[in-house]
Amino acid sequence: MPTPKKHTENNKEAPFKLKSGLAQMLKGGVIMDVINAEQAKIAETAGACAVMALERVPADIRKQGGVARMSDPKMIQEIMKTVSIPVMAKVRIGHFVEAQILESLGIDYIDESEVLTPADEQFHVNKNLFQVPFVCGATNLGEALRRLNEGAAMIRTKGEAGTGNVVEAVRHWRKIKSEIETVLGANDTQLKKIAKEMRVPFELVKTLVKLKRLPVVNFAAGGIATPADAAMMMQLGCDGVFVGSGIFKSSDPAKRAKAIVEATTHFNDPKVLARVSSDLGEPMESQEIEKLGTKYAERGW
Partner 1 sequence: MVNLIPTQWGGHLKGLSISNKDICKLHIFFIFSKMSIKRAIIGVLALQGGVIEHQSALEKCGVQVVLVKTKDDLKKVQALIIPGGESTTIGKLIRWYGLEEDLKRRIKEGMPVYGTCAGAILLAKNVIGREKAPHLALMDVTIERNSYGRQLDSFESQIEFGEMPAKHKIPAVFIRAPKIRSVGNKVIVLAQMGKEIIAARENNKLVTTFHPELTDKLIVHRYFLDMIPKSLRA
Minimum distance of partner 1 from residue 2's CB (angstroms): 9
Identify which range of 55-63, 100-108, 167-175, 280-288 contacts partner 1 by CB under 8 A: 100-108
Member of 175, 177, 266, 275 binding partner 1 (CB under 8 A): 266
- Is residue 191 part of the contact set for partner 1 (CB under 8 A)? no
Per CB under 8 A, contacts with partner 1 among 55-94 are 80, 83-86
| Phi and psi at residue 135, to the nearest 5° | -115, 140
Q: 90 an active-site residue? A: yes
Q: By C-beta, is 104 or 294 nearer to partner 1? A: 104
DSSP, collapsed to helix, strand or coil, labels residue 9 as coil
Q: By C-beta, is 48 or 170 nearer to partner 1? A: 48
Minimum distance of partner 1 from residue 202's CB (angstroms): 11
Contact letters (x/-) for partner 1, 34-53, by CB under 8 A? ----------x--xxxx---
Contacts for 69 with CB less than 8 Å, ≥ 6 apart? 92, 98, 116, 117
Which entry of 5, 27, 90, 206 is annotated as an active-site residue?
A: 90
Our CA angle for 30, 35, 41, nearest 5°, is 60
- Which alpha helices (H) appear in the chain, and where do they start and end? 14-26, 37-45, 58-64, 73-82, 96-105, 141-149, 167-184, 188-198, 202-211, 227-235, 245-248, 253-265, 270-277
Contacts for 27 with CB less than 8 Å, ≥ 6 apart? 217, 239, 240
| Phi and psi at residue 197, to the nearest 5° | -65, -40
- Alpha carbon separation from 114 to 58, 70, 160 (Å, rounded): 10, 12, 10
Residues in the interface with partner 1 (CB under 8 A) total 55
Member of 212, 274, 281, 294 binding partner 1 (CB under 8 A): 212
Q: By C-beta, is 21 or 65 nearer to partner 1? A: 21
Active centre residues (catalytic): 90
Which residues form the interface with partner 1 (CB under 8 A)?
3, 5-7, 9-11, 13-14, 16-18, 20-22, 24-29, 44, 47-50, 80, 83-86, 103, 106-109, 131-133, 148, 203-204, 207, 210-213, 215-216, 261-262, 264-266, 269
